[in-house]
Homo-oligomer: A and B are copies of this chain.
Amino acid sequence: MKLSTKSRYGVRAMFDMAYHAGTLPAQIKDISRRQNISPRYLEQIFQDLKKAGLLKSRRGPQGGYSLAKPADEITVREIVLAAEGELQLVDCVKNRRKKGEKEPACDFDNQCLTQHLWAKASQILGDYFDSITLKDLCDQGKEMGLEKELDHRFMYFI
């Protein structure tokens, strides 16, 4: 019943981007250093987030990733969903007969009381995650007096 590191790192990384957002795209190496996440691994996570339409990227020098939408339009739910693949606490709730699977995930199918229980729980969890945006986290960060690191690349331009 644990969230995977992909979800946790994903939220941390995207928060980091929103918090330190500048004019230039953010680079993996900076985010990974600030958040102490393996850069190679973060790349993978960002691929997922990009596929989900939460990030956009630019290659080449001065390239990097940036948020695909304003911070107040990106919810924790979207990030977790993209990283985790889905937001169900249990598999038997899922659609049957998706490609390749011949057996339903559960023998009792719709006769099952507990199925409804888990589905409701998953929904409650999703609703909570949906109520929190990256902007909310940034506001919290400011309140806490969390330091923003100066973008070292600005140094060259001053």
Contact indicator B144/A113 (Cβ below 8 Å): yes
Contact indicator B121/A125 (Cβ below 8 Å): yes
* A63 interface residue per 8 A CB criterion: no
Contact indicator A117/B132 (Cβ below 8 Å): yes
* A3 interface residue per 8 A CB criterion: yes
* A23 interface residue per 8 A CB criterion: no
* A1 interface residue per 8 A CB criterion: yes
Number of identical protomers: 2
* A89 interface residue per 8 A CB criterion: yes
Task: Tell me the minimal C-beta distance from A136 to chain B in angstroms.
Answer: 9
* A65 interface residue per 8 A CB criterion: no
Q: Mark A65-100, 1 if CB is under 8 A from B, else 0.
A: 000000000001000100010011111100000000
Assuming the contacts A8-B90, A146-B111, asked whether A3 and B117 have C-beta atoms less than 8 A apart, the reply is no
Q: Which of A102-158 contact B (CB under 8 A)?
A: 107-108, 111, 113-114, 117-118, 120-121, 124-125, 128-129, 132, 137, 140-141, 144, 146
Task: Tell me the minimal C-beta distance from A137 to chain B in angstroms.
Answer: 5
Per the bound structure, the CA–CA distance linking A15 and B114 in Å amounts to 9
Task: Tell me the minimal C-beta distance from A145 to chain B in angstroms.
Answer: 10
- Selected from B7, B76, B118, the residue in CB contact (under 8 A) with A8 is B118
Per the bound structure, the CA–CA distance linking A129 and B117 in Å amounts to 9
Assuming the contacts A1-B4, A87-B1, asked whether A128 and B120 have C-beta atoms less than 8 A apart, the reply is yes
Closest residue of B by beta carbon distance from A7:
B1
